[in-house]
Amino acid sequence: MSNSSINEILWTKHELISASKGKDLTTKFLNNKKISGISIDTRSIQQNDLFIAIKGKNFDGHDFLEKAIQKGASGVIVSRKDSALKYNGLFVKNTHAALINFAEFSRNRFKGKTIGITGSNGKTTTKDMAKVIFSEFGKTFATPGNSNNIIGLSLSLMKLPSNFNYCILELGMSKKNELKKLSLIAKPDLIIISNVSNNHLENFKSEKDIALAKSEIFHGLIKNGQIILNYDNKWYSFLKKIALNYTDQVIPFGVKKSIFSVFQEKDSFLIKSENFKTNLNHLPHHLAFNLISILTLVKCLKLDLNKIKEKIKYLSPSDGRGNQFKLKINANKTITVINDAYNSSPHSLETSLTNLYKNNSNKYVLIIGDMLELGPNSYTYHKKIVPFLKKLSPKTLFTIGNISKILTDNLKNNFVCRHFKNIKLLEVNFDKLVHNNDTVFVKGSNGTGLYKFCKNLEKKYELGE
């Protein structure tokens, strides 16, 4: 993703050399060209992007230097002398290490507030909502997409304009010690841990180990920083105890305890604080809950909550995290699709099914894919979803993948069920499987292909109103 829309120079030649200790072997690096974006992928590179030739397991960016130049790269950063000489590139010992050095340099020159967000579920939507909210208070940058690993974070910080007021970073992890590295680069002023649940169990012995790994985000917290924790999550006390080793400013959010007065009314929240009041009934329960963490941030920074009341009314789930759209399958058939297929875990699937049950004005068509990365107990976690589906009693249940077949096998006597071995079979038959006015809920781990399936539906059929 490029930041060329930001009409300013992100980096100067002097800054790049200073940050990386690189060498301009031809003295022609950049040649007075401006840098308005950063790229490591020629498929998405834009005019005036700086191209960094990263070497990975399956590719080497040095093989794409010619294409990067052809597409308008303002300059290239390389770890091969012959490439530096041929393309007037900045030569560094290791482009991956240089990328991290650039990120650290960018963070250190940034004088605004940096917010680090992590959690087992809802990180991306929380970050996206935070960007909308904080844009009302000043220039705000946020992690593009869900680029929350070491390379994604480094690219994000490279794209951070130094004169912005707020930087909102999504930090992810799938194993121990990842979050510590990210936090030490990000150096957040404020931290949100939205929740802890049993995601990525494939790489952890227990949920407690996941909570401990999430606490690694505290390592980079700046002096006198603030940590915002989910009081209603069972790991609150565990995380708070660790957090107090880094700061005495640990602030809870939730229904049970918060710096707001939070009233839960059926499936919505009413938030009150001094001269501020807002209802979050337009958001799914879990997203409304995460929005409370953002409002807590706003209050911690002593910003005017009333300035964002109108913005709150128009917040919605991010793409693939519960966003809705209508499709005209044909002249006589229009359906609503709820795309919650960017990822899935036992906790997030249970939460989504509970939300559907609370709003069950009609019978849903469910498309459920495998939950991946659950380790040896994967079948057990999938089977625990059965009671939630029984309670919801959907019109139809379609499952995709190897493990989710356990759902259709256990529920075929309760309602209409059908299992598909792969996405292609579902796509071919889709228009015959749905009926006019159906609401189709789609959820599965990204590796199942269901997110791409939803995007293909948007391309194939006309969007309805």
Here the CATH number for the domain that contains residue 62 is 3.40.1390.10
Give SS3 for 23: strand
Ranges 9-13, 263-267, 438-442: which has the least confidence: 263-267
Res. 4: pLDDT tops 50 = no
Does 104 reside within a domain? no
Residue 136 domain-assigned (yes or no): yes
pLDDT of residue 333: 94
Pair 287, 144 in one domain: yes
Could you tell me if 286 and 151 lie in one domain? yes
Domain hosting 327: range is 323-463
pLDDT tops 50 at residue 383: yes
Task: Tell whether 388 and 298 lie within a shared domain.
Answer: no
Shared domain for 285 and 410, answered yes or no, is no
Look at the block and give the residue holding tokens 């003295």: 27
The answer to whether 119 touches 195, Cβ cutoff 8 Å, is yes
What is the value of pTM for the model shown?
0.85
79: left (phi over 0), alpha (psi -120 to 50) or beta: alpha
HSE-up (13 A, CA, CB side) for residue 412: 9
pLDDT of residue 292 exceeding 50: yes
pLDDT per residue as tens digits for the range 69-100:
999 999 999 999 999 999 999 999 999 999 99
Domain with 412 in it: what CATH number? Answer: 3.90.190.20
Residue from 220, 172, 191 nearest 130 by CA: 191
Is the CA virtual torsion 219, 221, 222, 226 positive or negative?
negative
Number of helices and strands (H, E) in the chain?
17, 21
Confidence of residue 7 (pLDDT cuts 50, 70, 90): low
Which pLDDT belongs to residue 282? 81
Q: What's the pLDDT score for residue 266?
A: 67
CATH number, residue 293: 3.40.1190.10
Per-residue pLDDT tens digits for 15-72: 999 999 999 999 999 988 999 999 999 999 999 999 999 998 889 999 999 999 999 9
Query: What is the predicted pLDDT for the residue at 6?
Result: 46
Q: H or E segment at 336?
A: strand 333-339
Same domain, 284 and 348: no
User: What does each C-alpha distance from 421 to 116, 138, 404, 405, 406 come to in angstroms?
Assistant: 39, 49, 10, 9, 12
* Residues 414, 284: Cα–Cα separation, whole Å: 27
Residue 158 has pLDDT above 50, yes or no: yes
- Domain end residue (candidates: 281, 313, 345): 313
Structural domains in the chain (count) = 3
Indicate whether 374 pLDDT > 80. Answer: yes
The answer, yes or no, to whether residue 385 has pLDDT greater than 80, is yes
Highest mean pLDDT: which range of 2-6, 49-53, 143-147, 444-448: 49-53
Residue 4: inside a domain: no
Q: What is the DSSP string of 189-206?
A: SEEEE----STTGGG-SS
Whether residues 229 and 375 fall in one domain: no
Condensed to tens digits (0 to 9), the pLDDT of residues 391-418 reads 999 999 999 999 999 999 999 999 999 9
387, 358: one domain: yes
pLDDT (average), residues 302-317: 92
Residues 67 and 148 in one domain: no
> What pLDDT does 56 receive?
86
pLDDT of 200 = 66
**Each residue's pLDDT tens digit, 334-362:** 999 999 999 898 988 998 898 888 776 56
Residues 161, 71 within the same domain? no
Domain match, 378 and 446 both:
yes
Please give the pLDDT value at position 284.
Answer: 80
| 260 Rama class: left (phi>0) / alpha (psi -120 to 50) / beta | beta
pLDDT of residue 3 exceeding 60, the answer is no
- Would residue 120 count as lying in a domain? yes
Q: If you search the block for the tokens 């071995």, which residue do you land on?
A: 421
For 194-242, the pLDDT digits (tens) are 999 887 677 888 999 999 999 999 999 999 999 999 999 999 999 999 9
Q: What is the pLDDT of residue 317?
A: 86
Same domain, 298 and 415: no
Single out the residue in 278, 313, 348 at which a domain terminates: 313
